[in-house]
Amino acid sequence: MEKKWTYCAVYSIIQIQFVRGVWGKGLNAGEDVYAVPGSDVNMTCQKQLKSLLVQTQWSKVTDKMNLIALRHFEYNITIWTLLLRNVSSSLSGKYECSFTLFPEGIWTKTYNLLIQTPVTQDEWSSNHTIEIEINQTLEIPCFQNNSSEISPEFTFTWLVEDNGAQETLIQDHHISSSTSFKDRMKLCADHRLCLSPVQIHDEGRKFSCQVRLRPGKILRSSTTVKVFAKPEIPMIVENSTMNVLGERTFTCSLKNVFPKASLTWFIDGRFLQGEEEGINITNEERKGKNGFLELKSVLTRMHGSEPTQSNNLTIWCMALSPVPGNKMWNTSSEKITFSIGSVNAPTTEPLPSVTDSPLRTPPSPANSVSPTSKNVFMLLYFP
């Protein structure tokens, strides 16, 4: 009976304080809680009590207070946890925990529950390709054309995907100490990922920037790297001896190739198909330990297979290598002039050039201009 009278007295005093409007409400800053659909969420209310606890309650805040749980206590408690199981997007929103104390007043804490639901493909992801030469510095923007607009309060992560495995590179300005890229990688301005030098093994790797927005939205931008080796000049040599059948054999080789290139042959300005009578061409391709390709083409010419008005013939080979920008780099070897029973020294320097698109047929040397040194280049455009 004495306990009942005590509770009634306290309750009456509380009501009086409400009527007088002198009871304060202690607020606690809201806290964001992120969760994925189907997970369990714990939200805890904790308060060091110095006075009498009258009641505590959990509510969901919409346009009004929706009561979830209410409890009156005979003994003081300091922790009360709300557990939500198997959450879905319908449970997202604000949740408020309150402690009613006497004579302090009402103390509250607010949680903002953010359910990270998937959004449509067009909204959150974009895919790009960057082409670059080996040994250059690669800069990948977090989001194309708008990296500077990303608010600094958003969290972001740089990831790399290679052969189906994904690895974290950078998490909120901190470079992972376990990544194999740490010696070649840094975070540049506007959240850009800088990688230097680019290596052949970076071919096909996908670098992704993931930005976590509020409320519970994730944006991803993925960039696939396509690497190219700077084309070299093909080398041509002739076997030092001619067999009894009068066959002459020439070898054209090209090193440090990536990606694939092709070798073609010319005799006196005429492109050789390799299917002509008296002409035999064999091609070989080998991959070195460093990942680069090495090409070799061997041309064998039977004696008397080339009708000509002169006893001298000029032979050379040409390499067509892809370069960034959907172009082909055209480099020619030195030219060898030979006659029956003799071989002359190379007559001209190599001729490199660039074309706008992959060539269907090799260019005619008649349209080329012989340079005076190896450092002279020209642009050739083909209809």
pLDDT-derived band at 13 (thresholds 50, 70, 90) equals very low
DSSP state of 20: H
CA geometry: angle at 24 spanning 23 and 26, to 5°? Answer: 145
Distances (CA, A) of 56 to 13, 66, 71, 80, 342: 18, 14, 6, 8, 106
> Strands 327-332 and 352-355: what pairing?
antiparallel
pLDDT value of residue 363: 47
Cα separation of 306 and 280, whole Å? 13
pLDDT-derived band at 355 (thresholds 50, 70, 90) equals low
pLDDT in tens, 242-253: 666 668 899 999
Query: And the tokens for 301?
Result: 């010419």
Helices (H), ranges, the chain: 2-20, 121-124
pLDDT-derived band at 370 (thresholds 50, 70, 90) equals very low
pLDDT in tens, 14-66: 343 333 333 445 555 578 887 778 788 888 888 777 777 788 889 999 888 88
The domains located in the chain, with CATH, are 2-115 (2.60.40.10), 121-227 (2.60.40.10), 235-379 (2.60.40.10)
Closest to 267 measured CA to CA, from 224, 318, 325, 214: 318
Lowest mean pLDDT among 87-91, 193-197, 258-262, 325-329: 87-91
pLDDT-derived band at 260 (thresholds 50, 70, 90) equals very high
In sequence order, the 6+-apart residues with CB closer than 8 A to the CB of 76 are 49, 52, 53
Cα separation of 131 and 324, whole Å? 5
pLDDT value of residue 188: 92
